Amino acid sequence: MIYEGQSYDLKSLRTITGKTADWEALARDCVCFANGAGGRLLIGIEDGEALPPAKQTVPPELLDRLRKRIGELTVNVQALPSLQCAANGGEFVELVIDRSPSVASTRDGRYFLRVGDSCQPVLGDDVLRLANERPGRPWEAMDSGVPRNAADADKLARFVQGIRSSDRVKDSVKEKGADELLTHYGLAQGNTFTRLGVLLLGGTADRRALGTAPLVQAIKYDEQGQKINKWVWDDCALSPVELVDAIWGEVPDFRESYEVAEGLYRRNVPAYDEKVVRELLVNALVHRPYTQQGDIYLNLHPERLEMVNPGRLPLGVTPRNMLHASRRRNEGLARVFHDLGLMEREGSGFDLIYDRLLSQGRPAPVPEEGSDWVKVTIQRRIVKPEVMRLLTVADERFQLTQRERITLGVLAQTEGMTARELGAALETDGADELAGWLGRLQTLALVQSSGRTQGTRYFVDPNLLRGADLKVPTTLLRIEPHRLMELVREDLRRYPCSKISEISGRIGPEVNRSQLKRALAGLVGISVVVMEGERNGARYSLAVEK
């Protein structure tokens, strides 16, 4: 399966052929990619599929028609269509859209931008922001004038070692020499470093000469808001990669902990989760605008940490859609951080922060955006230790997905939320998106509901929060047949070709074996599940959709 995202989109062949052709929608998608980092439209592959229909053919004249229509309907868009043949013999069109050196638009003067897997309109003053944020050449790729051989030897050696030991880098890249890696990652061009190369591998004086190298201040406040301590990294001696370790290692507050009662025992928990703090630091360093000066501030209050970054969020990303939107401001820097294992894959960093905090019984992070700053606030203390216990036990038992953990954590910290309130908390739009976040939580009886449509109220049974042993089995004994079928389908989706004993062990041995057999027989009867083998050797898998 090919997943749509920042650089890919799938379109049915019907969008450009026949009576259902929608050329204006295709033009908007091309403008989106051109105003971003470029991308590819795979026309002829349906959403959620990996291949086109096996017998699908593309009319030869369609490629010329694509070139002509895109040229007629867009401005500053360069698109190159080519005919491709998939492994199953089906044909499709690959439409490659280059990043536009200037702002792209539709012929009627509308602007769009690719954010995550969606195409968003750019309106009003944001059009000027789009123009200002899109120099003809990205800041990272600009020539610094610093000779290629002026790299800091220690920084270069650590960079090369980090790439070669990374499990995120192809072997063909690991085999490159140090000089070849500089070119591969856009750190040098010809005989000189790019600005990105100086930022990561240059000497202190060269990095300071950039004028916008990140400077960081960590300031500690008391209960009255008075400054009582300060740590500063403002000499430009460290690269952004080195700053993450330095800040985490030098601020003593990050190693503080306190005790949380767990029944008769007490558990020692850190004041701040290391992965959360590191991810916040990485986001601040990778996504800041390097064309703008300004320090990064870590404001340490007795009950919270505020991470303040200069500049605004990338265009198209807001505090309301940060869980879903994904747009890299500095592609080269993000690539280096990812390949060195210092940041999550695209679009998952803020999800990780939500997941870690909510799983620990802490409130969700609070993002805010000002006229020239972005702030994310996280709480120091665990508000509800019982939520931490619930999430730990539920995840160990049912292997919850990240979205399921986030949703359960949000609901467990409240008395209950309506569908509208839960959708707002999870930044979803519509019942279908909300269902994806709820996942199996209702089937597993971890979340209950009452009411209908937008008035539906979701809540966690207070008994689950009070019981440290998570007494879910008594609920599973009375599970309705349709819920059990859905639970089996989800289990087989994750673990195909399983025996009934394996399925029973994963969804809970408390479910009656004969009830589980009836559920499997029912799914086989309606061709949702296929059975291979007989009796004790039988194995079950989801049927392949035609």
Q: Mind listing the pLDDT tens digit for each residue in 263-290? A: 556 778 889 999 999 999 999 999 888 9
Say what percent of the chain tops pLDDT 70: 92
φ and ψ of 190, to 5 deg: 65, -130
Q: What is the pLDDT of residue 313?
A: 84
Distances in Å between the Cα of 462 and the Cα atoms of 138, 157, 262 are: 53, 55, 17
- Greater model confidence, 162 or 48: 162
Number of C-beta neighbours around residue 529 at 10 A: 21
φ and ψ of 259, to 5 deg: -100, 140
Are 357 and 364 contacting, i.e. CB atoms less than 8 angstroms apart? yes
Q: What is the pLDDT averaged over residues 103-108? A: 91
Query: pLDDT grade, residue 545 (50/70/90)?
Result: low
Q: What is the pLDDT of residue 508?
A: 66
Beta bridge partners of 91: 85
Are 132 and 329 contacting, i.e. CB atoms less than 8 angstroms apart? no
The model carries a pTM of: 0.71
Q: Mind listing the pLDDT tens digit for each residue in 390-413? A: 888 888 888 888 889 999 999 998
Q: What is the pLDDT of residue 546?
A: 46
Q: Mind listing the pLDDT tens digit for each residue in 437-495? A: 998 898 888 999 888 776 789 999 877 876 544 444 434 444 667 778 888 888 888 88
Q: What is the pLDDT averaged over residues 347-358? A: 81
Query: pLDDT grade, residue 300 (50/70/90)?
Result: very high
Measuring CA to CA, which residue among 395, 409, 425, 393 is closest to residue 358? 409
Q: Mind listing the pLDDT tens digit for each residue in 304-330? A: 999 999 988 887 788 887 777 667 788
Query: pLDDT grade, residue 186 (50/70/90)?
Result: very high
Q: What is the pLDDT of residue 46?
A: 86
Q: Mind listing the pLDDT tens digit for each residue in 54-100? A: 889 998 889 999 999 999 999 999 999 999 998 889 999 999 999 88
- Structural domains in the chain plus CATH codes: 8-132 (3.30.950.30), 139-209 (no CATH), 216-379 (3.30.565.60), 398-462 (1.10.10.10), 481-542 (1.10.10.10)
Q: Mind listing the pLDDT tens digit for each residue in 244-253? A: 999 999 999 9
For the chain, the average pLDDT equals 86
Classify the phi-psi angles of 427: left when phi > 0, otherwise alpha if psi is within -120 to 50, otherwise beta. Answer: left
Query: Greatest CA separation found in the chain?
Result: 76
pLDDT at 30 over 70: yes
Query: pLDDT grade, residue 260 (50/70/90)?
Result: confident
